[in-house]
Structure 1
């Protein structure tokens, strides 16, 4: 199961290290002939508004009823399990290179982020997120007073 901390403001190191591990995994896979370890779908995070984001997963060939999205205790979990193909068909596969393996990806959501919806279109699963920042955590502007200025009194 892939477990990711969902950062709406990812750091540079967040993108460097997973890429290095993916390269090493691909290199060993080429040397041994095995399939890469990571079966989790690739994903993008897109800002769609001031406090709105989309988590977009690449899930080509998956149907809505084969995918499951859950949130529990600050964790967003997306899983997929292909239904078994029924035999008896005249068709037979010559080669099957498209992965049909089940997957489970998990993302840690900050307390201020909620899932507002999901849609599957053209092999992309889009999960809409809303970041609601409480008033006490929003930036506040503080007025600066000049300590050198003295109050003037009206004299008669």
Structure 2
């Protein structure tokens, strides 16, 4: 079992190591038969540290609308979820290739308890989440005044 870091910006992986093999097999059969893979691809993301207390998470979500996405923070865990329904297919349509993913995804990040989400923006297929790490008052450095007892 992996150790949980109190402030980890790496996503929590819920699938087993074998799931990657099943995805590869699924893609192989999809190429042979022309049908779509069962498993949806993992959303790609970038994580940038702005300064000591500010971070920016950018998730690639092409084709998603605001209503398709949810960003939530509970107990120090950031959840980015998306769900997009596949458009209905006409009877006379024949797809030669279908590479646009539909379905749902979830990204989880264990951020710790002293984190605040400043905002989330969606623009041109990129969801950007501004994250602030707030240091508690008791952990902030304190400057202690020194008294000179020799002075009268």
TM above 0.5, yes or no, is yes
Aligned to 1:137: 139
SS of equivalent residue, structure 2 residue 72: strand
User: Are the aligned partners of 1:39 and 1:101 in contact in 2 as well (CA < 8 Å)?
Assistant: no
What is the distance in 1 between the residues matched to 2:48 and 2:38? 27
Q: 1:39 aligns with which of 17, 38, 41?
A: 41
Aligned to 1:7: 8
Runs of 4+ with >6 A deviation: none
* Structure 2: runs of 5+ lacking an equivalent: 12-16, 30-36
Q: What count of residue pairs does the alignment treat as equivalent? A: 134
- Aligned 1:116-135 pairs, distance under 5 A: 116-135=118-137
User: Are the aligned partners of 2:49 and 2:56 in contact in 1 as well (CA < 8 Å)?
Assistant: yes
What is the distance in 2 between the residues matched to 1:69 and 1:38? 20
What is the distance in 1 between the residues matched to 2:90 and 2:25? 35
TM-score normalised to structure 1 length: 0.63
Is 1:56 equivalent to 2:58 in the alignment?
A: yes
The root-mean-square deviation of aligned C-alpha atoms, in Å, is 4.0
1:31-59 C-alpha deviation (Å, 9 max, x unpaired): 97166967331222112345221111111
SS of equivalent residue, structure 2 residue 84: coil
1:6-43 C-alpha deviation (Å, 9 max, x unpaired): 625x7xxx9xxxxxx6xx937x7279716696733122
Of the structure 1 ranges 46-55 and 62-71, higher mean CA displacement relative to structure 2 is found in 46-55
1:51/1:32 Cα in 2 relative to 1: closer, same or farther (>3 Å)?
closer
Larger radius of gyration: 1
- Aligned 1:106-121 pairs, distance under 5 A: 106-121=108-123
TM-score normalised to structure 2 length: 0.64
Aligned to 1:147: none
Aligned to 2:14: none
1:86/1:31 Cα in 2 relative to 1: closer, same or farther (>3 Å)?
closer
